[in-house]
Structure 1
Amino acid sequence: MSTGHHDGMRDLLTARALGALTPAEETALAPHLVSCERCAAEAERLRETVRLLDGPPGAAMDDDTPPESGGTLALALRTRPAAPRVAEHAAPYAAAVAGLQALLEELEGDGPWHTPVVHDWDVHDTVGHLLAADEPLARHLGIAPRVPPSCVAGDAPWEEAWNARTAAVLAHERRRPPRETVAAWAAQAGDVLAAPEAADPARAADVTSLMGLPLPLADHFVVRGFETWIHTDDIGRALGLAVPPPPDPHLWQMVRLAVRILGAALGPDAPPVLFAVSGGDRDAQWVLGAENEPVRGELVLDSVDFCLLVGGRYAPDEVPRVTTGDRTAVGGVLDTAASLAWL
């Protein structure tokens, strides 16, 4: 979704689908839906998703219904903020895990599990991939693997090790029923979130290199939340179910981390570009590249679109954007952002 008049539409559309708009918000949104086919279609998809997963929009849970029952999309939205037992740095991962669990609980029969999702993976494979992708962090935290130990050489380049381990885990998981794969992934994620480092920022401050990224351990929790959300969105799109973006506080944790990594990848000698990100109720801007030269161009992206670009879900020339100035300098930022994707 592009910037400008689309800013903030996602939250309003999600609230509308759940019957949670105020009268003033409904009045403000209605003219936009009349004039914008894209948002009107998205609104209809969200309403249909809520209808399928949770009954009529606005239907409330009975007061006696335990919070763990139902497993619906609306329940996931209500419970996406992390439980108090995790610190801020682990909250995006906790919320993303809860969202994916809620989505997967709604799948019935064998058919949905074999729906193509991304790369050459179906839904089952995508969960298996997340089982493998969470493993480096889990292993660093002292958590035993949920699948046979890796046979990848310890000194292998990280990309080679990453691809080999993913292939081995997928081969193993394809011999198991999908629900067993989900149980293994969820158990490993639960162990990661129960680790002391998930609740203690001081213990999560140490820099460690996972998947080629030397970052504070706290940032690796954010990376796990980022990838879990991206693949939840992949599954939702494959099944025709609209998956809401992360809550704003979590989304902006992802944005800020991605900007830091992007700035490091561009380096201090790149043509300076003023990079702005907007979305929800906030916006921010940074100068990327050389600090002592005049800005050569400006680039504005929506917060979700920026994350999807870094996640490999947009090509650099396809992401909705606003640009001015030197096209080559701006294109360098877009190309570098897209090159960061490994998901």
Structure 2
Amino acid sequence: MTADVASETVQTHDCRQAFADELIALAAVDERIVAVCNDSVGSSNLVRFRELFPDRLINVGIAEQDLVGVGAGLAIGGFIPFVSAAGPFLTGRATEQIKTDAAYNGLPVVLCGQSPGLAYGELGPTHHSVEDLSWMRAIADLAIAVPADPAQTRAAVRWAAAHDGPTYLRIPRFKVPSVTPQDAPFEAGRSIQLTNGGDITVIAIGTMVSRALSAAETLRAEGIGVRVLNMTFVEPLDVEAVLRAARETRGIVTAEEATTTGGLGAAVAGLVAQNHPVRMRILGVQREFAPTGSAAFLLEHFGLTADGIASAVRELLASGDRDGAHERG
């Protein structure tokens, strides 16, 4: 697979529809479930929710700070609010309210960042949501989940509704293949190992997981064994799985549709640097504003493709071999 277009032989699915369907299913049996949006009923896939539960959808208009504040107030009142908006606006405009109203008070507010990463391609950096993981990771007591496919999206909605505290869910816009094994657990701080391999570990989240699997398949044909971890939770991180990868493989590549300054790669690097240093490559947006172009073009531009991940793995192995040769010399 390349960019955001899967092979014609691979069936892909819409995570946003899975989000909406699961939210409706929960609301049908729990009257505490409410939705709050910022004039984004359509883009948040809440049209059907509004039809079924017209008194349980609150549209605050284009006022994201109010959006989170209203969600926090509903949580104080005993409701379980799913606060939904495009990722860049939810996190960029309402960071203070997420920190102070939701996280500081430990409220069960579910923040739903729709269409994150580079999904809005041609609309440019104002609509790209690549900083959100860095911003949200800096806030204490905020769980951050990045589902990789519809099965995980549905599980994330259920988990967040039951979680006794605030959650940031990143809901992908791209259609993606199913990558989650049947009956796989969905637990905070627990990753899912999707392939075995003793050479390099690739740790990926969200839309990058299926691309990591494609890269692993390509590399297997070259005799390179790649362990692929779907990390799912950027916070809390699966510490045990990361450190096991650092001990058992020759290096770690991380892949995220986000800036590299403070998201998944930074979390993994900080952990291994302090516990078991290992060679790494961190794939993502390298602290720059992306050019304007299609999502497919942007993912290719930043190397966030199966080919880009495979190249990073080869480079990491080659650098290790060079260093080893230098040490022997």
Answer whether TM exceeds 0.5 for this pair.
no
How high is the TM-score relative to the length of structure 2? 0.31
What TM-score, normalized to structure 1? 0.30
Higher helix share: 1
